[in-house]
Amino acid sequence: MPKKAKKAIRLSAAEQHLLDRAMAAQQQAYAPYSRFQVGAALQSENGEIFIGVNLENASYGATVCAERNAVAQAVSQGQRKFVQLAVVTSASPPAPPCGMCLQVLVEFCPDLRILLANPEGEVERTRLSRLLPRSFVHPK
């Protein structure tokens, strides 16, 4: 039985801009081992966009994901509140962030809006709370 085609979603201009930034970032990823390039674009509450790429290393534990790179960029610029993240991979369906990235993101925005996409045009809208429903949050 053939796969049921997913209904295309209509993106706002802001969502498309964020996704375009993530797609451009994906081309800069350094993934010589897995060949799985990831680009991320994280939008702060004030509208600023921070990009990240995955950065692999022969010592696999030293590899850093695109999403955490984008968070580090934002935090280094004094941003701590985020509204949306776009993640682009070549996977079909589009791949979500890994568990470590989800946990880092929840530190700043437990219900972050997330766009998952690939260069073939598949796009999915979701929320961090859906991808990590029982996250660990430090009692403050």
- Name, in order, each residue with C-beta under 8 angstroms of 65's C-beta and a sequence gap of 6 or more: 38, 40, 52, 54, 97, 98, 100, 101
Catalytic residue (choose from 48, 56, 67, 120):
67
∠ CA 30-34-38, rounded to 5°: 50
Half-sphere exposure of 11 (CA within 13 A, CB side): 21
Whether 67 sits among the annotated catalytic residues: the reply is: yes
Q: Give catalytic residue positions.
A: 67
